[in-house]
Amino acid sequence: MDLELEGKTALVTGGSAGLGRAIAAGLAGEGVRLCIAARRPEMLEDAAGELAAISGKRPVLVQADMMEKGAAVRLAEEAIRGLGHVDILVNSAGVGRPVKLDTPEETWDEVIMMNFTSRRQLIQALLPRMMERGWGRIINITGGSEPTKINAGFSGKAALQAWCKGVSREVGKHGITINAVAPGRLLSEQAYRRYTEEERAAFAAKEVPVGRLGYPGELANVAVFLASPKASYVTGAVVPVDGGMRRYAF
């Protein structure tokens, strides 16, 4: 299927590793011109080499820490400067943080900044130009809606999903869609670092109906489709990519 993405532009946060990098690679394969942002400059350079090999075009690189106040607006400005305009935003940079009832406010502030406030600010910084151009795609990588314990990351991402649902009703008439992709347990950098092979296999056998953990590229396929003109009638949605792990019916 031709996704009609050739020549579009995209900003991908968290684009140097994991899900963000996989989505950036998928977009590059469709001819999208990229700006990728992340905290670690060495990882950005490594990702740039891979993406240039895929598309023949070196992406615009921006070092940005989304926990810092003002980072979102600066990132939007640099992406526009480097690309001319941004057709597609992929909000992939995020953090999960298990917390306790007495967790200090500073921890909550950091995680909410990363998972909600900075993402909201980045969307708001890019929306006016998308509205002027009459086209835009916003994809947020969020998380599960069935927390088994208190997790500040889940709380921030749930807030983003709720806010974006409302925004989607305002901007649809301008040719802009806003969707979320909610990953299950995937073989990302974090999964390899936090869990042994035996632990990953045991979890998949018990919790994942398809019997295995997913690959970042499988989530990227869904995100790239949502970024395309082919997905023009999908907005305000949360799409799980989890091998059937979630138990809710709707």
Report which DSSP code applies to 185.
S
d(CA 239, CA 179): 8
- Asked if residue 250 has pLDDT above 90, the reply is no
Burial category of 46 from C-beta neighbours within 10 Å (exposed 0-12, middle 13-18, buried 19 and up): middle
Average predicted confidence (pLDDT) for the chain: 93
Looking at this protein, which amino acid is placed at residue 109?
A: D
Query: What pLDDT is recorded for position 194?
Result: 81
Across-strand partners of 183?
A: 241
- Dump pLDDT digits (tens) for 83-102: 999 999 999 987 777 788 88
User: Would you place residue 10 in the very low, low, confident or very high pLDDT band (cuts 50, 70, 90)?
Assistant: very high
Q: Is 210 helix (H, G, I), strand (E, B) or coil?
A: coil
Domain 9-186+216-237 CATH superfamily: NAD(P)-binding Rossmann-like Domain (3.40.50.720)
**Is the predicted pLDDT of residue 55 greater than 90, yes or no?**
yes
DSSP codes of every residue in 131-179: HHHT-EEEEEE---S--SS-BHHHHHHHHHHHHHHHHHHHHGGGTEEEE
Region 67-81 average pLDDT:
94
Q: What is the pLDDT of residue 180?
A: 96
How does residue 151 score in pLDDT terms, banded at 50, 70 and 90?
confident
Please say whether the beta carbons of 178 and 138 come within 8 A.
yes
Question: Does 64 score more than 80 pLDDT?
Answer: yes
Contact in structure between 12 and 27 (CB atoms under 8 Å): yes
32's tokens: 């999208």
- The mean pLDDT value for 34-49 works out to 96
Smallest Cα–Cα separation from 220: which of 53, 3, 52, 73? 3
Decide if pLDDT at 215 tops 80.
Answer: yes
More confident residue, 205 or 103: 205
Say yes or no to pLDDT of 198 above 70: yes
Res 141 pLDDT > 90: yes
* Mean pLDDT along residues 227-238: 98
Can you give the pTM of this predicted structure? 0.94
Contacts of 196 (CB under 8 A, 6+ apart): none
Reported as type and span, the H/E element at residue 110 is helix 105-112
Residue environment code for 209-219, b if the CB has 16+ CB neighbours within 10 A, otherwise e: eeeebbebeeb
pLDDT: which is higher, 53 or 146: 53
User: Using the 8-state DSSP alphabet, how is residue 59 labeled?
Assistant: P
pLDDT band at 110 (very low <50, low <70, confident <90, very high): confident
Q: Report yes or no: 247 and 148 within 8 Å, Cβ to Cβ.
A: no
Domain chopping of the chain, boundaries: 9-186+216-237
Pair 238, 142: CB distance under 8 Å: yes
For 192, the token pair is 């390899």
Per-residue model confidence (pLDDT) at position 145: 67
In this predicted structure, the answer to whether residue 67 has a pLDDT above a threshold of 90 is no
Quick one: average pLDDT of 229-242?
A: 97
